[in-house]
Amino acid sequence: MAIKVIKDQCVSCGACVSTCPFGAIIMESDNKAFITEACTACGACIDACPVGAIIREEEEKTAAADKDQYKGVWVFIEQVGGQARGVGLELLGEGRKLADALGQELAGVIIGDKVEHLAKEAFACGADKVYLVEGPEYKHYNTDAYTIAFTDLIQTYKPSVVLLGATNDGRDLGPRVACRVGTGLTADCTGLGIDEQTGLVAWTRPAFGGNIMATILCPDHRPQMGTVRPKVFKRPVPDYSRTGEIIRVPSKVKPEDIRTKLIDIIQVCTASCNLEEAEIIVSGGRGMCAPENFRLVEELAEVLGGAVGASRAAVDAGWKPALHQVGQTGKTVGPKIYFACGISGAIQHLAGMSSSDVIIAINKDPDAPIFKVADFGIVGDVLEVLPILTEEFRKIKQA
């Protein structure tokens, strides 16, 4: 429903301007009321107008998609430098479950330059098909080029479900493609399933700061699209004996379609903050007490060959950049070993690391919530414990 001003009936009294709680109504040069994009259609102005010049008008609904034309589950295999990012392979494992439950095929979508070799990885992780779009214009991720290619694939082959990683690129690509094909997108999902009553994909994601879990369905439009954070699901064990069909799709991107040009790539983050791919993460929280104390976290991570993480409290305090943040508002990780150093264990932080294989907590408060999820706990001053741990691990490696 939309709010509309009937210009011929407007008497320029301004009652609607002062009544609008969102400041969404202005008086134009002709001294007639005009409703801006800030309008939320609350209807307060309708009751305030003394002459009935403001009405609620029903907008024309977009026609629902012919759902019978859409078949198959697709997973976008994100790649950087010709190497597949882990989240795409993780989603193939979950996509396999969805495809089997729906009785449909699972396909991987690979866009890049000279990346056909990644099809073998996709087949090994469960894909039946791979849609391959190659060209020099796809060597590095580009919003315009990738959006055009992915949109064309969906409009041509009509998948029923599309999964993307909730990475920087996936969060940029997913909404743009969803808008162009006229469907919705559920972001940052933590669970996927099939709704028994409707047969639709049930997308589960945290809402209201993680206080509730919302399950979202997309009944009227196709494809059903969603993004999933890295490490939410485990990567399937690859079976390299599997093979499948590669469908090569020619590029439809023209030079004039690309509005930006990549000048240079600047390495702003070393391996120490590559949290999504790390097998060992050492994270620090408010218990580190000061930014200079994070060197203890960094030293342990360096000895173990791991990445450095941080809680939101540490990031908000300016002790570490946001690239290091683990948690609901940061990165979701699932390493083999996760060290929680001086982290109390707020629910928002646990949401980002509870899927780790082994959790080791260090905290001087024996009642800290982090110990409830930890496999091993050390009660003590983290500033005293970390140097001892680092030295012992260093001795073991030297031996």
373 annotated to bind ligand: no
Length of the chain as a residue count: 399
- Rounded to whole angstroms, how far apart are CA atoms 325 and 314? 8
- Rounded to whole angstroms, how far apart are CA atoms 274 and 382? 24
349 annotated to bind ligand: yes
Answer yes or no: are the C-beta atoms of 220 and 104 closer than 8 Å.
Answer: no
248 annotated to bind ligand: no
Which residues on adjacent β-strands are paired with residue 325?
A: 310
283 annotated to bind ligand: no
- Rounded to whole angstroms, how far apart are CA atoms 262 and 264? 6
Report strand pairing: 337-341 vs 280-284.
parallel
170 annotated to bind ligand: no
Q: What's 221-269 look like in SS3? A: CCCEEEEECCCCCCCCCCCCCCCCEEEECCCCCCHHHCCCCCCCCCCCC
295 annotated to bind ligand: no
Half-sphere exposure for 2 (CA within 13 Å, toward CB): 12
176 annotated to bind ligand: no
154 annotated to bind ligand: no
312 annotated to bind ligand: yes
Taking CA atoms, 318 is separated from 20, 274, 323, 324, in Å, by 39, 19, 12, 11
140 annotated to bind ligand: no
85 annotated to bind ligand: no
286 annotated to bind ligand: yes
Cis peptide before 387 (omega within 30 of 0): no
Q: Residue 333: what residue type? A: V
Report strand pairing: 83-84 vs 191-194.
unpaired
Direct distance between the N- and C-terminal alpha carbons of the chain, in angstroms, rounded to an integer: 71
197 annotated to bind ligand: no
Bind-site residues: 286, 311-312, 325-329, 342-349, 363
Bind-site residues for FAD: 286, 311-312, 325-329, 342-349, 363
